Amino acid sequence: MNFDDMMKELRTEYLESLPAKLNDLENSLNQEDVDCLREDFHKLKGTGKTYGFPEISELGEVVERLLTHRPQAYSQVVPNAIGILKDIHRERSASREFDLSEDGRFTQIRSLSL
């Protein structure tokens, strides 16, 4: 197996693991566990770009920063971020791109983090 094939397989596995990560995020949101949410978005920030999904890393970075500096905003930010991640998963699973800059929810989240 060459490097490109290996990366393609890893990308597929990463996408397949995303619903479980989303479930974890939803559980942490329901438990109001801001520390766990911040940690999970930190992990997404690191893994997204590694596996070729820079929009996941960008979203993870913005949400992590927001949860660090404005943790009280979690209830308004995290549901939108989870929705965006679900849309990313759907689009990427269908081999389509996802442009965060065109998503109004992301624009709103990013504006809160400034």
pTM: 0.95
Find the domain containing 19 and state its range: 3-113
Query: CA nearest 21: which of 82, 78, 102?
Result: 82
* Mean of pLDDT values over 50-55: 96
Q: Is residue 63 within 8 Å of 22, Cβ to Cβ? A: no
CATH number, domain at 11? 1.20.120
Q: Is residue 106 within 8 Å of 84, Cβ to Cβ? A: yes
Residue 1 pLDDT level (bands cut at 50, 70, 90):
confident
Task: Decide if pLDDT at 19 tops 80.
Answer: yes
The predicted structure's pLDDT at residue 82: 99
Task: Decide if pLDDT at 114 tops 80.
Answer: no
Q: Count the domains in the chain.
A: 1
Query: CA nearest 15: which of 103, 99, 87?
Result: 87
Q: Is residue 60 within 8 Å of 45, Cβ to Cβ? A: yes
* Mean of pLDDT values over 39-63: 97
